[in-house]
Amino acid sequence: MKALLCKEFGTPDKLLIEEIASPKAGAGQVVISVKACSANFPDVLMIQNLYQFKPPLPFSVGGEVAGIIKEVGEGVKHLSIGDKVIALCGWGGFAEEVVVDARRCVPLPVSMDFTVGASLLYNYGTSYHALKDRAGLKSGETLLVLGAAGGVGLAAVELGKLMGAKVIAAASTEEKLAVCKEKGADFLINYSKEDLKEKIKEITEGRGVELVYDPIGDRYTEPALRSMAWKGRYLVVGFAGGEIPKVPLNLALLKGCAIVGVFWGSFTEKETQKSRENLIELANFYAEGKINPHIYKTYSLNEAPQALWDLMNRKVIGKAVILIDQPSVVAANLSAPKNEKQEVPYTQTEKGVIFHQLSGLKSFKGKALGTSDWLVVSQEMINNFAKATLDSQWIHLDEERARKESPFGKTIAHGLLTLSLMPQFLYQLLQIEEAKMSVNYGSNKVRFITPVPAGSRIRMKATLKEVEEAAQGIKLFIDASIELEGAEKPACVAELISLVY
């Protein structure tokens, strides 16, 4: 049989289609002839060795399939050869056949085709478990869904509305929000243009939201947590935005709210019967016309790496599905040479963006580059900066006096020290493979808002604001904000200007 294999960890262009031996059903297992398999964000993480589950190399990704039972193992009574099923296999679905625990199979409803079948379990299963089992969503409550146009986010919008919630959908483009509106969202927030916290306050008239569904994490978590209503529930579903947020836990105390983890994969293994009941309920919802997965695009098995690229580059709205029997003009050997990989203008990683082509910069205009790692601003760093700039003010250098006289109780970093760290942070967030060199050209609109005491941790968030042609290269305008851990307001904001040659 054919399978798309991950033989070394990395990006989707490293995946290879090969002929391998067909799997055999052991006791309690079935072999499924795969007709469709969805692509999900955990697949992207798995091929990079970044996911919680780590199958041994080589392996195929694809944890959600629809197909026909080919072989039944010993002890399996409720399934027969020829049955059409949908199943959770964890991985292995990007192949013509896959072996699955029979308990993780559900009959494919008569009204459902294979494409929809492969789109139902993971996204709707995760979101239904989150809203029903973990949060106990009640009719009339206000639900905020972050990353609302992604697979699990869109399912949460649809299910939240079905369960009687007032749904606020938050996403990064108008195109994505339009789909959320079609799925029933009552209010829309474009958090690439609007202040998330202020918009929530406006929509809820200051009351806050009873429930937050967060599959993205990163910079959106803290403002959403600050927008919780009393005794609200904050669902931690995933971190597709890249950064795993570190939030001030005093917010949970002040809001009287619960921060609730949602790990659907473990739920399906540890509470198999309850998970199966949920999946049957979801199948009935579909049969009754109450839910309907939004299919972004279908791909052949040969094109499956492109589906993963599309997920990585945040193009997918709803669900990407691999149709195993679908013919394709794409070459069977997907071990693309370097110049073939360049067809993808950029790749978003956990820490930032890698631009494979200079042209990719223009297509990324207006989007967030990401969030840097935290950096401790030590007293030694402050001393060295003061020495280099001949600035001997006691507020920076005299720790004893600062403890007694400073309103901050510590020495503080010079504002220009904070500004000078921005290029270092930017190197983490922005890589340009075609660039021969880049020059930090200057900065505009610099403001120092919150002092940075010695020993504090800071990090930078950045957005590519504008891209202009220059005489010998490209000029980038980047909106940058230095966050101070535990502070509501940033330490410094500025517009950075870089020249790329």
- Range(s) within the chain of domains with CATH label 3.90.180.10: 2-108+294-335
Instruction: Using DSSP bridges, classify how beta strands 187-190 and 166-171 pair: parallel, antiparallel or unpaired.
Output: parallel
What values do phi and psi take at 289, rounded to 5? Answer: 75, 20
pTM: 0.61
Q: Would you say 251 and 226 are in contact if contact means Cβ atoms under 8 Å apart?
A: yes
According to DSSP, residue 12 is labeled: G
Q: What DSSP letter does each residue of 265-329 carry, written as one string?
A: HHHHHHSHHHHHHHHHHHHHHHHTTS----EEEEEESTTHHHHHHHHHTT--SSEEEEETT---S
pLDDT at position 80, please? 92
- Distances in Å between the alpha carbon of 228 and those of 154, 199, 207, 355? 21, 13, 8, 37
Query: Helix axis angle, 151-162 relative to 114-128, nearest 10°?
Result: 70
pLDDT given at position 471: 63
Q: Candidates 3.20.20.70, 3.40.50.800, 3.10.129.10, 2.60.40.3470; correct CATH number of 353-500?
A: 3.10.129.10
Domain with CATH 3.40.50.720 in the chain: 124-264
Bridge pairing between strands 97-101 and 166-171: unpaired
The CATH number, out of the four listed (1.10.40.30, 2.102.10.10, 3.90.180.10, 3.40.50.970), of the domain defined by the range 2-108+294-335: 3.90.180.10
User: Which tokens hold the place of 341?
Assistant: 């990989």
Task: At 177, list the tokens.
Answer: 């929000």
Low-confidence residues of the chain, pLDDT below 70?
242, 326-345, 349-351, 359, 436-439, 441, 471-472
pLDDT in tens, 416-442: 999 999 988 888 888 887 776 666 767
Backbone angles phi, psi at 85, to 5 degrees: -140, 160
pLDDT at 338: 38
The answer, yes or no, to whether the previous bond of 58 is cis (omega within 30 of 0) is: yes
Q: Output the pLDDT for position 436.
A: 67
Residue 337: its pLDDT value, please?
A: 35
Nearest residue to 149 via CA among 319, 317, 367 = 317
pLDDT tens, position by position, 377-421: 999 999 999 999 998 899 999 999 999 998 889 999 999 999 999
Q: Find out whether 353 and 364 touch, Cβ atoms under 8 Å.
A: yes
SS3 457: strand
Position of tokens 């919780």? 228
pLDDT of residue 472: 66
CA separation, residue 231 to residues 116, 140, 210, 237 (Å): 37, 15, 7, 19
According to CATH, the topology of domain 124-264 is: Rossmann fold (3.40.50)
Instruction: Outline which parts of the chain fall under CATH 3.10.129.10.
Output: 353-500
DSSP per-residue letters across 176-238:
HHHHHHHTT-SEEEETTTS-HHHHHHHHTTTS-EEEEEESS-GGGHHHHHTTEEEEEEEEE--
Contacts of 271 (CB under 8 A, 6+ apart): none
Nearest-angstrom CA–CA distance, 126 and 128: 6
DSSP state for residue 13 in the 8-state scheme: G
